[in-house]
């Protein structure tokens, strides 16, 4: 690990944090835009398992997770910089795109089975990102653990939704 952040002014550190927050919340906004209509129209019509959380739980949880993702990426940038941590930032970008894609597949296309396949790929990308972030900054890696746990839960939920709503 290098002390990359020591050479960065506080103003530039704040700007970088704002950029990472902006990237993460742009992904959240795109996913939210795709999701909003289906949450009101399609999602209430499908059969849900008993452990399905109330809709009001999802927005606060995802808001916290996106903020934690941004802070984790910022911490890695501070410690290593973009170039030295390029594999970690590539993985970060991939998981962020896959995160949006899941919303498109599940809520936009109403393709529960395809979303199940996509979320497995998403989870793998999140785990890779977590490991790569951990190598640069343990706190950054730890900040991704709740995201891993939540997406594991989402995978279980997606599986249950697929099973309950599969048509022969």
12 is in which domain, residue-wise? 7-165
Residue 133 lies in a domain: yes
Residue 114 lies in a domain: yes
Q: How many domains does the chain have?
A: 1
CATH code of the domain containing 40 = 1.20.1260.100
Residue 1 lies in a domain: no
Query: Is residue 6 pLDDT above 50, yes or no?
Result: yes
pLDDT of res. 141: 98
pLDDT of res. 8: 85
Residue 58 lies in a domain: yes
The reported pTM is 0.93
**What is the tens place of the pLDDT at every residue in 54-74?**
999 999 999 999 999 999 999
Residue 14 lies in a domain: yes
Q: What is the CA radius of gyration of the chain?
A: 17
Q: What 3-state DSSP class applies to 137?
A: coil
**What is the tens place of the pLDDT at every residue in 21-45?**
999 999 999 999 999 999 999 999 9
pLDDT of res. 163: 97
């Amino acid at each position: 690990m290098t002390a990359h952040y020591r050479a960065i002014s506080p103003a530039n550190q704040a700007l970088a944090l704002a950029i990472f927050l902006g990237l993460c919340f742009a992904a959240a906004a795109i996913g939210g835009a795709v999701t909003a209509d289906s949450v009101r129209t399609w999602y209430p019509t499908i059969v849900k398992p008993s452990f399905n959380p109330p809709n009001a739980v999802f927005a606060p949880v995802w808001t916290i997770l996106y903020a934690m993702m941004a802070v984790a990426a910022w911490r890695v940038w501070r410690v290593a910089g973009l170039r030295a941590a390029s594999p970690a930032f590539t993985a970060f970008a991939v998981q962020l795109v896959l995160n949006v894609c899941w919303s498109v597949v599940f809520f936009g296309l109403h393709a529960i089975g395809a979303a199940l396949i996509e979320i497995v790929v998403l989870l793998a990308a999140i785990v890779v990102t977590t490991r790569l972030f951990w190598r640069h900054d343990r706190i950054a890696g730890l900040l991704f653990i709740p995201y891993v746990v939540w997406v594991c839960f989402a995978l279980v939920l997606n599986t249950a939704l697929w099973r309950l709503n599969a048509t022969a």
